[in-house]
């Protein structure tokens, strides 16, 4: 069943109006009309089973039939600090990290980062990334889209996280003493995790030492040399598997709603 995320669900006599961009998306892209059923969500975590009453590109009206329990938050808050990479790969990281439940994506530049943005292009990129995050939230049913920070520098990233509580890990292919599997296995349940993934050219030794001095654990992903976007998604998935919500804690039937 289709899920739609709107800013706010304004209900009157059991009917909600969806205007503007979302209405056009429902009618023109999804090609849905009267009688079709959807799950309507807002940023507060409300989920309603709904049936479309009327639909035009300017306004879609839905009848709210029942509500679902709000999905519980993930036990761990994950920030993915991702060095800027090529456009298509960066889009993919944002989309999939959102689906995997990352709370925040922190883009940054480092010594070996090739991708750079002018101020005007950065504004467009942020808008584009936020659209991807919103679309991904609709697809996977998360309450709020992943937060995307303005791109910063590696040193600013380290400075921000130096005094922050939680487990902080930077992936480095040249690390020979610690791997991520062992690090996660030895760590107790934590509520906050920050993972740093470098650009295609990796990190310099100087950058690694700066991170180590700031309290970051240095870890490898074993003998395989992964592309930046692959390493980023593997990192988020492994943390979610170890401490997060990649498990079915309680039975869930999303199509069984409590009648209003």
Q: How many domains does the chain have?
A: 2
Task: Answer yes or no: is pLDDT of 170 > 70.
Answer: yes
Are the beta carbons of 38 and 53 closer than 8 angstroms? no
- On whether residue 45 sits in a domain, the answer given is yes
* Nearest to 111, CA basis, from 175, 174, 215, 200: 200
- The three-state secondary structure class of 231 is helix
Is residue 251, in this structure, part of any structural domain at all?
A: no
Rounded-to-integer distance, Cα 68 and Cα 49, Å: 8
Share the mean pLDDT of the chain.
Answer: 89
Residue 39 sits in which domain range?
Answer: 2-69
CB–CB of 97/140 below 8 Å? no
- What is the rounded distance in angstroms from the CA atom of residue 246 to the CA atom of residue 240? 6
Q: What span, in angstroms and rounded, lies between the C-alpha atoms of 133 and 21?
A: 16
Reported as a single tens digit per residue, the pLDDT across 97-112 is 999 999 999 999 999 9
- Is 218 a member of any domain? yes
**pLDDT (0 to 100) of residue 258:** 72
Q: Each residue of 4-62: pLDDT tens digit?
A: 878 778 888 899 999 988 899 899 999 999 999 998 888 777 888 999 999 999 999 99
Q: The domain spanning residue 40 has which CATH number?
A: 2.40.240.20
Indicate if the pLDDT at residue 190 is higher than 50: yes
69, 95, 114: which is the final residue of a domain?
A: 69
Same domain, 82 and 58: no
Alpha helices in 9-146 (DSSP H): 20-24, 87-99, 119-140
Tell me the whole-structure pTM to 2 decimals.
0.79
221 and 131 fall within a common domain: yes
For residue 186, pLDDT over 50 is answered with: yes
Specify the CATH number for the domain of residue 107. 3.40.1280.10
The pLDDT score that the predictor gives to residue 167 is: 93
Asked whether the predicted pLDDT for residue 143 surpasses 80, the reply is no
250 belongs to a structural domain: no
* pLDDT, tens only, 227-252: 999 999 999 999 999 998 887 555 45
Specify the pLDDT at position 248.
Answer: 59
Residue 68: strand pairing partners: 47
pLDDT reading at 260 higher than 90? no
Same domain flag for 32 and 157: no
CA distance to 33, 44, 242, per residue, from 52 (Å)? 6, 22, 40
Q: Answer yes or no: do 114 and 14 share one domain.
A: no
């Amino acid at each position: 069943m289709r899920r739609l995320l709107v800013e706010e669900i304004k209900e009157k006599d059991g009917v909600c109006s969806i205007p503007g961009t979302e209405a056009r998306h429902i009618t023109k892209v999804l090609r849905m009309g009267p009688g079709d059923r959807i799950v309507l969500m807002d940023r507060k975590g409300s989920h309603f089973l709904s049936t479309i009453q009327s639909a035009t590109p300017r306004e879609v009206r839905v009848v709210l039939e029942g509500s679902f329990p709000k999905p519980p938050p993930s036990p761990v808050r994950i920030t993915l600090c991702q060095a800027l990479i090529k456009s298509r790969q960066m889009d993919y990281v944002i989309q999939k990290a959102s689906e995997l439940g990352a709370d925040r994506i922190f883009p940054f530049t480092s010594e070996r980062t090739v991708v750079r943005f002018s101020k005007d292009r950065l504004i467009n990129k942020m808008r584009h990334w936020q659209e991807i995050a919103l679309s991904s939230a609709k697809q996977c049913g998360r309450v709020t889209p992943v937060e995307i920070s303005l791109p910063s520098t590696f040193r600013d990233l380290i400075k921000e996280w130096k005094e922050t509580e939680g487990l902080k890990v930077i992936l480095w292919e040249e690390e020979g003493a610690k791997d991520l599997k062992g690090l996660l296995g030895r760590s107790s349940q934590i509520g906050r995790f920050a993972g740093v993934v470098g650009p295609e050219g990796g990190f310099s030794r100087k950058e690694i030492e700066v991170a180590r001095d700031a309290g970051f654990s240095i870890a490898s992903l074993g003998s395989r040399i992964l592309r930046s976007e692959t390493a980023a998604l593997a990192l988020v998935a492994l943390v979610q598997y170890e401490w997060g919500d990649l498990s079915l804690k309680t039975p869930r039937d999303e199509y069984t709603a409590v009648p209003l």
